[in-house]
Amino acid sequence: VEQAAETHVVGFAASGPADEQALAPEEPPERLGGDVAAITELLVEPRWGRRGHGSRLLAASVDAWRNDGFTTAVAWAYEADTATRSFLTSAGWAPDGAARALDVDDLLVPQIRLHVSLVE
């Protein structure tokens, strides 16, 4: 959780060990290694955007994953969400070729997975 000086919550990050939801359909878990973290959500309230809060939340998540012994992290982004994809790639994340589609009210919404090594 990132807070502004006035102690307002301006954003949050949620993550945990990667499970079958973080893997691509029919992908063997060993493809990524055994110690994989998954970021499930990283949001900053729009009026607090472009002030570094997202970068600090992501950096704090990476530090926590490293401290917990994870060696890789993954995140799913909507294929059309260029803002999220640009944010993650600017922080060193890269698409790894995995893709899936979420069924949202009978509409398939494509996503791509990005990953980053946590090994220093």
* pTM (2 d.p.): 0.85
Residue in 53, 71, 49, 51 with CA at minimum distance from that of residue 62:
71
What domain range includes position 100? 2-117
Q: Are 9 and 3 in contact (CB under 8 A)?
A: yes
Tell me: the pLDDT tens digits for 82-101? 999 999 999 999 999 889 99
Output the domain CATH number for residue 97: 3.40.630.30
Q: How many domains does the chain have?
A: 1
Q: Are 72 and 37 in contact (CB under 8 A)?
A: yes
Rounded-to-10 torsion of CA 28, 29, 33, 35: 180
Tell me: the pLDDT tens digits for 1-40? 666 567 888 999 999 998 876 766 666 656 666 689 999 9
- Name the token pair of 84: 């999220």
Average pLDDT in the chain:
89
